[in-house]
Each structure stands twice: as C-alpha cells, then as structure tokens.
Amino acid sequence: MKVGIALSGGGARGIAHLGVLKALEELGITVDYIAGTSAGSIVGAFYANGFAPAEIMKIVSKTNLFQIVWPAFSWKGIFSMSRSEDVFRRHFKKDDFSATKIPLKIVATNLNTGRPQVFESGELVKPMMASCCIPFVFDPIKIDGDLYVDGGIVNNLPVESIRSACDVVIGVNASPVLKEEKLGGTKKMIERISMVSLSANVAKSASMCDLLIEPKGLRAFGTFDIKMGQEIFDLGYEATHYIFENQKDEAVIQQLLSTEVK
C-alpha cells in the first residue's frame, strides 16, 4: 500500500506538519510520496531528505528558518529570498530532487502562464523558494526564464499531484479560515486577505483526500507567529493522534494501521 501526504501552506502554521509527521511515525505509518506548497514545501523537502520531524524542528528553531523565509513586514521595499537559499543549501547534501529519499513534488505559481507548476526533478532549492515567495513582499523567483511566486495562490493543498500514485492520500491543511471579528491594521488585513486567497482552492483538493487533518487550534495563531513554533507543532501532533484514536473504526484508519507490508 502506497501512502502519500499533501502539506499545505500557512506560514508559521506549517510547523504543525512536523507534529503530524511525528505522530504518523509513532503510529507506524510510512509516507511513500510527499507533495507540498509554501510552508508545506519546506517541511516536505526536509522530511523527504531524511530529516526526522524533531530534527527539522531544531533546524527551524536554531536557524530561525521560518523567520528568514517570512521576515516581519516592512514598507521599505521588496525583499530578496537569498538568505533562505543559503540555509537550504547548507542542510541539503545535494540540491536536486533525485537526492530525496522519498519522492517529492513542490507546487509554485507560474506568473507567466498564470497556472500552477509542479516541480519534481532537477534543482530543488529554487522551486522551494518559489513556492514560498509571497507576492508583493518578495521578488519573484526566476526559473528557466519564467517568474514564480507562492504556490498557495493556485493550489494550497496539492493532492492532485500525488493522487494517482497512492492508494491512500492524507491531506494536512494548516490554513484554516474562520470568522475574524477584528481586522484592524495593515499587517492584519494583508494576512487575512492572504489566508482567504490561499483557502479558496483548498475545498476541491480536500475532497480528493482519503483523510484530512486540520488541527483546529491553529486558528489561534497567525501566519507570522513563528515564535509559537512548539505550540503549533504540538497541535499537529495531538490532532493526528486524536483522529486515529477517535476514528479508529473508519475504513481508511484501519487501512493505514494495517500491518500489511508496503
């Protein structure tokens, strides 16, 4: 049985993916395919390269990785993502999809075509950077002559890219959008517009999942609440164990917990 996992964008909330992956490991569930957008592409790339969830969490904390990728907003001009490129290259032995231990697909938005682009071969770091590139905040990333930005704009939960290769697909949505009472301030407004935009395409993708994990407590955290990383990690971990404990009679849960050799 082949199991795939699709990891959404969501800024700092994407740290919840690490908690989900740790819980899946404890449950004995092996991931055979990974697809990621934005924050999901970062987690997915590290995990596909053989880093354990706890290791990735240490890297995120020690290097301030998410803070580098998504620094505090400034109105002094457009940012460059070169600092994040240095961190990624430092930790990956080879900057190529072929070096991953688990097949990986990363989604970014091609501004020239206006369509999603799925990267799965060749250079790895630039597609990661492109998938995380927030429009109007960072310079678009140029790859083979085209310009790319955040994949969440067109596909924030890239289930489609691995659906045909998997018997079971787990989707992890770290971008919940609930009613927001207070929207004062420019930063808050930009964050809200971004989250609404990213969530607009999630419904269709979610319907293609066999199991969808959406840690409800994430609504308490903002896109840039990077300092709350451990709390966000714990929410993903706890939500996953809760689902497998309380939905253990569901066919997909029983299938995932099967002792069959994959």
**Contact in structure between 83 and 11 (CB atoms under 8 Å):** no
Residue 13 maps to which CATH number?
A: 3.40.1090.10
pLDDT at 196: 67
Range of the domain at 109: 3-258
pLDDT at 134: 79
Query: What are the residue numbers of the active site?
Result: 38, 150
In which band, very low, low, confident or very high, does the pLDDT at 70 lie, cut at 50, 70 and 90?
low
In which band, very low, low, confident or very high, does the pLDDT at 88 lie, cut at 50, 70 and 90?
confident
Q: What SS3 string covers the chain?
A: CCEEEEECCCHHHHHHHHHHHHHHHHCCCCCCEEEEECHHHHHHHHHHCCCCHHHHHHHHHHCCHHHHHCCCCCCCCCECCHHHHHHHHHHCCCCCHHHCCCCEEEEEEECCCCEEEEECCCCCHHHHHHHCCCCCCECCEEECCEEEECHHHCCCCCCHHHHCCCCEEEEECCCCCCCCCCCCCHHHHHHHHHHHHHHCCHHHHHCCCCEEECCHHHHHCCCCCHHHHHHHHHHHHHHHHHHHHHCCCCHHHHHHCCCCCC
pLDDT at 168: 97
Mean pLDDT of 7-22: 93
pLDDT at 135: 78
Reported as a single tens digit per residue, the pLDDT across 96-138 is: 999 999 999 999 999 999 999 999 999 999 999 999 887 777 7
**pLDDT over threshold 60, residue 28:** yes
Dihedral of alpha carbons 76, 79, 83, 87, sign: positive
C-alpha span between 205 and 220 (Å, rounded): 24
**pLDDT over threshold 60, residue 259:** no
**Contact in structure between 245 and 35 (CB atoms under 8 Å):** no
In which band, very low, low, confident or very high, does the pLDDT at 73 lie, cut at 50, 70 and 90?
very low
Reported as a single tens digit per residue, the pLDDT across 161-185 is: 999 999 999 999 998 765 655 666 6
Total number of domains in the chain = 1
pTM: 0.87
Reported as a single tens digit per residue, the pLDDT across 30-56 is: 999 999 999 999 999 999 999 999 999
**Contact in structure between 175 and 15 (CB atoms under 8 Å):** no
